[in-house]
Chain A
Amino acid sequence: MAEEEKQVTRHDVEESRSLFTPFNMIAGIFLIVGVILAFKRFTGGLGAVTNLDHNNPWGFWIGFDLLTGVALAAGGYVTAACVEIFGMKKYHAALRPAILTGFLGYSLVVFALLFDVGRPWRLPYPFIVNQGVTSVMFEVGACVALYLTVLFLEFSPAALEWLGMKKVRKLAIRLTMVLTFLGVILSTLHQSSLGAMYLIAPSKLHPLWYSPYLPVFFFVSSIAAGLSMVVFESTLSYKNFRNKMDEEHKKSRNAITIGFGRAASLVLAGYFAIKIFGVALGNHWNLLFTNMGLWFQVEMLGFVLLPCFLYAIGVREKNVKLIRFTAFWTVLGIVLNRFNVSLVAFNWQLPMEARYFPSWMEIGITLFIVTVGLVVFRFIVTRMPIFYEHPEYSTEH
């Protein structure tokens, strides 16, 4: 990465640089290992690469690729709502990178699901063959499928500008408002429903994490995740793709960081409150000082309350560095929360030897999927107008 940064700062060398940069080499290794593991998965079954068993049917892929992936891809709907619906036009420069991150995020979620479900070619079955409408997962599936389409359409103007297809682009632009509304509705539904999926298993999820509020927890935390991810992504992008950014993008960068930091701080404060209300609702105070309870406190204090205050301090003192660090910290907190719900607090009552721990191959396939995402992200931002406005359309909006 460091090497890459150096290369990028020397503006126009990019086209002529060698293929064997450290990023490419590491990405290449991950991709090769991933393809081998994928082959193993699809010839030997799930058992050949995962540590899943009859007690633990969902593992690392659901916890990270699905739950965390969807939460971290929330930047798309959050930013779109801010800019298009709430009218915060000054954050306009953040919109396209956020939509792109969201679109790639959801594509990767679906890609990862192809590995996780037993018969991936049947993924459309719930919609075309037999509708299991009583299932929360039916709702998640329907919303994710629709929202992926919405994100594709929201992203399409950038690709169409790149391809120079003016007429189709104009059509896509006209859909903006409808798509933004749909995006927020669908995101509200499936972000919350991912939490609601666990409502059916109160006997398996630890009481501190199980709550009738689970859908609300997942929805609210996805907003914090989305806001933090926009800041986090812009930090990384500035490091690696600065030469692709136009003056307006660079100029509004700090304003976006501060604005989103303030919003994230606010959301985390509310999130902390409702999590506490959740403990009160179930009267689980006595569990707070058990082993699981201490772990719950680590999550609540270290990854909700702490970033809430760090954001606030960063915003008050206009310390963008602190805000950027806090964004990273919040992203970690979201990963922790989704892991806690799906892996740590799930099946907590089972004896240690019956608990699940991921195999290196599961993590290997996840790394493969993330690498694919990064490579595609780089392909797109180095070609399409993501960090800059296409000169032919810059007078609009």
Chain B
Amino acid sequence: MSTSRRKFLKWMAAAGAAATVPEKLSAHEHFTGYPDSYGVLHDTTLCIGCRSCEAACNEVNDLPEPDKPFDDLSVLKEKRRTDDKSYTIVNKYDVEEHLRSPVFRKFQCNHCLEPACASACFVGAFTKTPEGAVVYDASVCVGCRYCMIACPFDVPTYEYNKALEPRVMKCTMCHPRLKEGKLPGCVEACPMEALTFGKREDLISIAQERIRKYPDRYVDHIYGIEEMGGTSWIYITGAPYEEIGFRTDLGITPAPEFTSGALAMVPIVVGMWPVLLGGIYAISKRKEQIAKKEKEDEVTRAVNENQAKADENLKNTKEKAQKDQEFAVEKAVKKALEEAEKNKDSGKEES
């Protein structure tokens, strides 16, 4: 639980880091990995396929008993892969076109300088340690298995048959042993010195030296210097890499770079979508308002027109009424006058 609490502070650390930008950082920062970190050089030309490394790995990591004992070399005939009960395996490759003797190749986590698993893990369960090992923390793992999707070397495996606390299983480069000053189990057990432990820089020099000294014995390439941005485990061999189970089409791009572009779009969407959508919203709102106003204007116009017409009518009627009235009055006056005249006349006559 203490590790969890420590990790909980990462947010805060991130916020704090923004305030104190290391002066060394520039826009084109190139990361070269932890200085003086360790690695292992696997020289397949020295490997005899004795499976001592498998046995040692099983023992130092307290892994379950294998189906077939480690001195049974018949398993070398199959093309095996690591699983949740074994962190490392050795496969045998017959490459008669190139070499008379078969090639044995040890397979385990390559401990990338920029691990795909660490980049992919949404709970940060993987860490590239300054010592070189990529370690996994089961205490936070959710079990989404995205690390297995991401790993170009198909290294992480999963405890599919555990219901309660399934873990991702992979080689730790014996990180706990390194901390105690010991060698990784497999390296210590190798009787042929096919495995060399040391600082990665030194191992690269050793590998280069061997290739220079024995150009007929080796293919002129050190696998792991650049592959996927470089790995802590590096290899030299006498047969073409693609024929002894290596993928040579992985390229040299470190895994985090594959997703950094897409992740960089996140803040752009967050920043610009409100602006874009706000603009569209404003336009549609304005259209709505214009439509509403036009409708209102239409109504007012119609009303006004009606009003005007009504007024006109009223005026006409009024005028007519007045005229009628005037006419009536006139007529009445005229009549009255006439009558008065008549009366006057008749009165004259009467009197």
Contacts and interface: CB of A to CB of B under 8 A. Distances in A.
A188 B273 CA distance: 9
A204 interface: yes
B214 interface: no
Nearest to A128: B8
A43 interface: yes
Interface string A51-63: 0111101100000
Given A185-B269, A203-B247, A137 B146 contact: yes
A87 interface: yes
B26 to A, nearest CB: 20
B255 A200 contact: yes
B266 A189 contact: yes
Contacts of B280: 85-86
A377 interface: no
Interface string B230-253: 000000000000000001011100
Query: Per DSSP, are chain A's interface residues mostly helix, strand or loop, or mixed?
Result: helix
A321 B147 CA distance: 46
B149 interface: yes
A122 B143 contact: yes
Interface stretch (B50-58, B180-188, B281-289, B293-301): B281-289
A201 interface: yes
Contacts of A134: 118-119, 256, 259, 263
A185 B270 contact: yes
B293 to A, nearest CB: 15
A118 B119 contact: no
Contacts of B161: 44-48
Interface stretch (A191-199, A258-266, A296-304): A191-199
Interface stretch (B17-25, B121-129, B317-325): B121-129
Contacts of B121: 132, 135
Interface residues of B, number: 65
A25 interface: no
B327 interface: no
A119 B284 contact: no
Given A125-B142, A136-B263, A119 B152 contact: no
Contacts of A138: 122
Contacts of B149: 57-58, 197-198, 200-201, 204
Nearest to B155: A54
Interface string A236-267: 00000000000000000000000000000000
Given A122-B142, A199-B259, A200-B119, A130 B158 contact: no
Contacts of A214: 262
Contacts of B14: 133
B142 A117 contact: yes
Contacts of B118: 134
B146 A118 contact: no
A131 interface: yes
A58 B145 contact: yes
A100 to B, nearest CB: 23
Given A129-B123, A200-B119, A119 B143 contact: yes
Contacts of A119: 141-143, 165-166
B82 A130 contact: no
Interface in B258-277: 258-259, 261-263, 265-266, 269-270, 273-274, 277
A53 B160 contact: yes
A44 B163 contact: yes
A123 interface: yes
A137 B117 CA distance: 12
A391 B128 CA distance: 62
Contact of B162 (A45, A50, A181, A215): A45
Contacts of B285: 87
Interface string A326-367: 000000000000000000000000000000000000000000
A126 interface: yes
Contact of A201 (B122, B150, B284): B150
B7 interface: yes
Given A54-B148, A55-B81, A129 B122 contact: no
A87 B266 CA distance: 26
Nearest to A89: B288
Contact of B142 (A87, A126, A215): A126
Nearest to B145: A57
Interface in B77-122: 81-84, 116, 118-122
A22 interface: no
A184 B269 CA distance: 10
Given A54-B82, A199-B262, A87 B288 contact: yes
A214 B120 CA distance: 17
A118 B141 contact: yes
A132 B141 CA distance: 11
Contact of A132 (B124, B152, B281): B124
A377 to B, nearest CB: 28
Given A118-B143, A132-B122, A85 B277 contact: yes
B31 interface: no
Nearest to A188: B269
Contacts of A203: 152, 247, 249-251
Contacts of B10: 130-131
A14 to B, nearest CB: 39
Contact of A87 (B125, B255, B278, B284): B284
A58 B125 CA distance: 19
A212 interface: yes
B2 interface: no
A164 interface: no
List the 5 shortest-distance A-B pairs measured between CB atoms, nearest first.
A118-B143, A87-B284, A47-B160, A57-B145, A57-B148
Interface of A: 42-48, 50, 52-55, 57-58, 81, 84-87, 116-120, 122-123, 125-126, 128-139, 141, 181, 184-185, 188-189, 192-193, 196-204, 212, 214-215
Given A87-B288, A185-B277, A203-B251, 7 more contacts: A54-B83, A57-B145, A58-B145, A123-B142, A131-B10, A139-B263, A203-B249
7 contacts: A122-B142, A125-B142, A126-B123, A132-B124, A134-B263, A135-B120, A181-B278
